[in-house]
Amino acid sequence: MSSSRKAPSAPAKKSAPARPARANEVRIIGGQWRRTRLAVADKPGLRPTPDRVRETLFNWLASIAGAGGGELPGWHCVDVFAGTGALGFEAASRGAASVVLCEQDAALVAQLKTVQVKLDAKAVQVERGNGLAWLARCAPRSLQAVFVDPPFEQAALYPQALRAAVPALAEGGVVYLEAARRWEDAELAEFGLSVFRHLKAGAVHAHLLRT
């Protein structure tokens, strides 16, 4: 009687893990453009919000939005120091109704517009110019989120940005403040703000502020 042997089965293929972002790029963390890579230009003071911090921030924002799934439906946002656009494109990826990216550097503006076209990001508007001036023209109480993340060494921009942001906040709106140090409620009171959430990651202090 002859015996038969089963051929050895081929090893199961493993799905390739997501490639980690390189030093000169960051990734969109969630939403429709999840894992999309954004280039980080070699510019003085350009310091994109780290992935871990952005993930935590947008979990905070989603809990405020109350929509689940990390979404921000109907939100109107502005990033007054857009840089790579990581914060703004993340918000748009998660369903924000409108996101304005303000940036003064011509090369960075061109890069932002390239990404906008590539993603067909209809909710995103790229503005070349001073983000603080844009806030001053903004309709009062019209924004759910204002992202304030200037170069750390330009400390004078922080109080200017906070002062300009508050009148633009809708009821329940928030300011995201990223800085090299922790801001305390006593100094934020001058602007009518207080710390709702805080995270320290390396050299970055991430604050979510509310009125």
The reported pLDDT for the residue numbered 25 is 85
pLDDT band with cut points at 50, 70 and 90 for residue 5? very low
User: Average pLDDT, whole number, for the chain?
Assistant: 89
- Percentage with pLDDT > 70 across the chain: 88
- The mean pLDDT of 177-197, rounded to a whole number, is 97
Q: Residue 19 above 80 pLDDT?
A: no
For residue range 77-113, list pLDDT tens digits in order.
999 999 999 999 999 999 999 999 999 999 999 999 9
- The mean pLDDT of 174-197, rounded to a whole number, is 97
The reported pLDDT for the residue numbered 22 is 52
The reported pLDDT for the residue numbered 4 is 39
For residue range 24-40, list pLDDT tens digits in order.
888 999 999 999 999 88
The reported pLDDT for the residue numbered 77 is 98
The reported pLDDT for the residue numbered 101 is 98
- Residue 14 vs residue 28, higher pLDDT: 28
Q: Residue 147 above 50 pLDDT?
A: yes
- The mean pLDDT of 155-162, rounded to a whole number, is 96
Domain 45-210, CATH number (from 3.40.50.1100, 3.90.1150.10, 3.20.20.70, 3.40.50.150): 3.40.50.150
Q: Residue 23 above 70 pLDDT?
A: no
Domain residue ranges in the chain: 45-210
Longest dimension (CA), the chain: 93
The reported pLDDT for the residue numbered 41 is 79
Please tell me the distance from the alpha carbon of residue 64 to that of residue 198, in angstroms, as a whole number: 15
pLDDT band with cut points at 50, 70 and 90 for residue 115? very high
